[in-house]
Chains A and B, each alone.
Chain A
Amino acid sequence: MADTKPLPSTLSVGLARTKLEVREFFREKEALIFTFFFPIIFLGIFSAVFGSTDFNGVNAATYFTPGMIASGIFLSSFQSLAISIALERDEGLLKRLRGTPMPPQSYFIGKIGQVLVTSVAQFALLLVIAGLVLGVDIPSEPSKWLDFAWIFILGAASGSVLGIAFSVVPKSGKAASAVITPIVLLLQFMSGVYFVYSSLPAWMRDVASVFPLKWLAQGMRSVFLPDGFQVNEPGGSWQLGTGAIVLTVWLIVGLFLAQRVFRWTRRDAG
């Protein structure tokens, strides 16, 4: 009798979802360009435009690499999930999944698995291009890579849960890109991804300090810019402790919100 066979475990279904999500991601051209290659393209443009312009003693490629890494993590987590889940909800894919014995947790394991795989691949590619093509010095000290690891994980995790929560904001799947992309772009500008952060007006820096991307970018600067560079930061230090606290708070807020607001059907579905 069918009833006696055990149900597949949440983890095994979650891994099957991860495989499917990663495959979907890499086969979809739009996501690949605007999420995966975006930071790499921008790093290339910036280093071509600014060439050997001096940014407090380093060249443009070196100065912008950490910002692009932070930006990539945020795009691969927040933007990618917020848009894809909004579309999947609007077009009835989530409703179909809810009608199968797939455990809900497996869906989220799939999404977070996809964020991990794509953001690590993106980071690796960015690092190879920065190091080999653009001549950026890549740090070798283990302590810096330890910092990188926790900043990366906190950034990707908070971006993911916030993306899951934010997916309920667009009113339709079609509106998802139009609603989410400008918000992310604005955050990137204010958080000093495309500019020298210390050159931004103080009020803008204050606004950016509320959001996670600023702290993610600052953390990445602490890893990839030479020692002593923190004197150029507005506070004169990398403020890693504050960054860890802000990112953790966002992670908790995001976890709470994602659980509260997530839904499998459209708002008008009653």
Chain B
Amino acid sequence: MENDNAVRVRGLVKRYPDKVAVDGVDLDIHRGEVFALLGPNGAGKTTTTEILEGYRRADEGEVSVLGTDPANGDRRWRSRLGIVLQTSRDEAESTVLELVSHYAAYYPNPRDPDEVIAAVGLEEKRKTRPRKLSGGQRRRLDVALGVIGNPELLFLDEPTTGFDPEARRQFWTLIENLRTSGTTILLTTHYLDEAEHLADRVGVIADGRMIEIGTPETLGGRGARTARVSWSDADGPHELRTDRPTAEVAALMQRFDGEVPELEVRRPSLEDIYLDLIGKANAADAAVAIEAGAL
């Protein structure tokens, strides 16, 4: 009874003694797509992911991952998932090749260990123990262990935190290759450029609620994309928002008869839109709090 969705979530709620971590989240992840879950720390990203991975139980709502409720996930179900946690230790005394080969023994249909090691770019480190690897290389080993079982769905929890730019670029290439091979990927991150670069769709989560889901290009709606044209004249700086920036610039050229001082045309980056969304969520919360007399 599996449909096109690798993940289907309706009305997910998870409460902890001191707070509601996830407060009515709906989510669909299509097969073969890379979905990025974005949000500030404590927004509910990790709790949501851990419920999907079967580590935590939902208090309310419907959850289906590869057609199964994670709370009832068996070994067969787990063999179709790959999980790369935020932090984890390796068996410290085994080499990269020994570890990847060992984890392969857990799965019914594993990939070839040498091939996986090559795919994550650790060929030259096959005989190296994890503690001698750099941060980026260890993360690649984590991914190698996550994909050795040939997963249909791969979870990546903040995979590039602490990376230098070069290591991140390399890591992105690795994820793009996985995606090309048809693996569905759920990525949590707080790097917007990462989501923009890798994800087909992005979900923004704040205070346990899914504020918005869309492609990186459409997130925030059309209004959020309005261009800003700014320039200066004798009265000081000016800025206007417009859907027709080219026409505005042409009009300015007429007015100044040539160069427009400090002319700039900007469209908001994903980061601007994201901060705007998070800001609105916080403002809405504050408004509710004021109404409730909490402030």
Contacts and interface: CB of A to CB of B under 8 A. Distances in A.
Interface string A78-121: 00000000011001110110111111000000000000000000
Given A23-B94, A101-B75, A7 B88 contact: no
A128 B137 CA distance: 44
B98 interface: yes
Nearest to B148: A100
A5 interface: yes
Interface string B32-57: 00000000000000000000011110
B108 A2 contact: yes
A99 B79 CA distance: 9
B255 interface: no
Given A20-B94, A92-B88, A96-B83, A3 B76 contact: yes
Interface stretch (B99-107, B190-198, B265-273): B99-107
Nearest to A91: B89
Given A2-B108, A5-B109, A23-B94, A16 B81 contact: no
A93 B107 contact: no
B76 A7 contact: yes
A92 B108 contact: no
Interface string B60-91: 00000000000000011011110101011111
Contact of B78 (A16, A87, A101): A101
B149 interface: yes
A9 to B, nearest CB: 11
B102 A99 contact: no
B112 interface: no
Contact of B93 (A8, A16, A27, A103): A27
Nearest to A23: B94
Interface residues of A, number: 30
B76 A101 contact: yes
B16 interface: yes
A95 B56 contact: no
Contacts of B93: 23-24, 27-28
Contacts of A101: 75-76, 78-79, 106-108, 149
A22 to B, nearest CB: 11
B107 A8 contact: yes
Contact of B92 (A28, A92, A95, A103): A28
B160 interface: no
Contacts of B90: 93
A5 B103 CA distance: 17
A260 B72 CA distance: 20
A138 to B, nearest CB: 33
A265 interface: yes
A126 interface: no
B46 to A, nearest CB: 10
Contacts of A239: none
A92 B109 contact: no
A5 B108 contact: yes
Given A2-B109, A92-B85, A7 B75 contact: yes
A30 to B, nearest CB: 11
B85 A24 contact: no
A6 interface: yes
B150 interface: yes
A270 interface: yes
11 contacts: A2-B79, A2-B108, A7-B75, A7-B79, A20-B98, A23-B93, A24-B93, A28-B92, A95-B85, A96-B145, A101-B149
Given A2-B109, A102-B106, 6 more contacts: A5-B109, A7-B79, A27-B94, A99-B55, A101-B78, A101-B79
5 closest A-B pairs by CB: A91-B89, A27-B93, A99-B83, A92-B88, A101-B79
Interface of B: 16, 53-56, 75-76, 78-81, 83, 85, 87-94, 98, 102-103, 105-109, 145, 149-150
